């Protein structure tokens, strides 16, 4: 229960901190124009084409809205709970990796506020969440708890990839691997299809999750080795010397 409460508290901090960081509209829009130009130069500006495909199928709009709005928290909590009970000896690295992703994301939101595509309807982008009855992230009651300019990187994608890579690292079950990959793909489609993120946001979120999984467990392993008590080291060296003699 303590770990579940910790995860819920961390997500609450995530949303509240995003709300505190809001308010840099000018910078956010200038950064958005920069991202759009960069995507055009790299041939990555596919958001509008993807949205046209999504909007042509109302069921798909509803599905992606639901994935974006409702699975973000619960998937991470479910993965954390699974790791806690199935691989308790690896849970420390799961928690530390998640915290690293969260911290890096919040820092990026502060340094690089970014207006998402849905803020540019005159450019053809559509806010599909506004089409879903009862879900409007721009409502005053909701807007006070989140930062509308928290787009780079996409933490929705980062956390989905975090779960996907975590399942590969911690489980040999191919079914779980498939579920992880499918969820990461659907979340990526959802954040772009709903008009909440650019392609570059998704690439940054993927890179962040991959880097965290590559670096954090190694740092934990190194710190654990360095934390071995001196008497234990002395005993080990003594035994090694006896074996050699």
Instruction: Express each pLDDT in 160-198 by its tens digit.
Output: 999 999 999 999 999 999 999 999 999 999 999 999 999
- pLDDT averaged over the chain? 84
- Per-residue pLDDT at 87 exceeds 80: yes
Residue 220 pLDDT level (bands cut at 50, 70, 90): confident
How far, CA to CA in Å, does 171 sit from each of 84, 201, 225? 13, 28, 24
Between 197 and 103, where is the model more confident? 197
Check if the beta carbon of residue 33 is closer than 8 Å to that of residue 25.
Answer: no
By percentage, how much of the chain surpasses pLDDT 90?
Answer: 61
Mean pLDDT over 76-102 rounds to: 93
Residue 134 pLDDT level (bands cut at 50, 70, 90): low
Check if the beta carbon of residue 213 is closer than 8 Å to that of residue 166.
Answer: yes
Check if the beta carbon of residue 155 is closer than 8 Å to that of residue 109.
Answer: no
Give me the residue label for tokens 């979340």: 187
Mean pLDDT over 101-111 rounds to: 88
Position 33 scores a pLDDT of 97
DSSP 8-state assignment for residue 29:
H
H/E segment holding residue 152: none
Between 130 and 139, where is the model more confident? 130
From its phi and psi, is residue 119 left (phi > 0), alpha (psi between -120 and 50) or beta? alpha
* pTM confidence score: 0.83
Residue 230 pLDDT level (bands cut at 50, 70, 90): very low
Check if the beta carbon of residue 194 is closer than 8 Å to that of residue 65.
Answer: yes
Position 207 scores a pLDDT of 98
Position 245 scores a pLDDT of 47
Q: What is the CA radius of gyration of the chain?
A: 21
How far, CA to CA in Å, does 52 sit from each of 37, 61, 203? 20, 11, 21
Alpha-carbon distance 42 to 22, whole Å? 29
Position 106 scores a pLDDT of 84
- Per-residue pLDDT at 107 exceeds 60: yes
Residue 221 pLDDT level (bands cut at 50, 70, 90): confident
Position 146 scores a pLDDT of 66
Position 48 scores a pLDDT of 94
Position 184 scores a pLDDT of 97
Q: At what angle do helices 25-42 and 199-226 cross, to 10 degrees?
A: 100
- Per-residue pLDDT at 113 exceeds 80: yes
Position 20 scores a pLDDT of 56
Alpha-carbon distance 60 to 72, whole Å? 18
Position 131 scores a pLDDT of 76
């Amino acid at each position: 229960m303590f770990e579940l409460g910790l995860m819920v508290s961390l997500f609450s901090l995530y949303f509240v901190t995003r709300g505190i960081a809001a308010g840099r509209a000018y910078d956010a829009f200038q950064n958005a124009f920069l991202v759009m130009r960069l995507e055009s130069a790299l041939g990555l500006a596919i958001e509008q084409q993807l949205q046209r495909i999504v909007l042509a199928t109302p069921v798909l709009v509803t599905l992606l809205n639901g994935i974006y709005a409702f699975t973000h928290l619960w998937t991470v909590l479910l993965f954390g709970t699974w790791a806690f009970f199935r691989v308790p000896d690896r849970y420390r690295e799961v928690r530390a990796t998640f915290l690293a992703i969260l911290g890096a994301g919040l820092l990026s939101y502060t340094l690089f506020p970014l207006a998402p595509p849905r803020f540019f309807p005159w450019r053809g982008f559509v806010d599909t969440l506004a089409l879903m009855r009862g879900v409007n992230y721009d409502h005053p009651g909701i807007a006070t708890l989140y930062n509308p300019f928290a787009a780079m990187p996409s933490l929705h994608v980062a956390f989905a990839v975090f779960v996907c890579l975590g399942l590969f690292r911690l489980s040999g079950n191919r079914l779980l691997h498939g579920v992880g990959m499918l969820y990461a793909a659907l979340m990526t489609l959802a954040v772009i299809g709903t008009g909440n993120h650019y392609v570059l946001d998704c690439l940054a979120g993927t890179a962040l999750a991959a880097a965290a999984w590559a670096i954090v467990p190694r740092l934990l392993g190194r710190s654990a080795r360095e934390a071995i008590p001196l008497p234990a080291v002395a005993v080990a060296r003594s035994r090694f010397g006896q074996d050699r003699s």
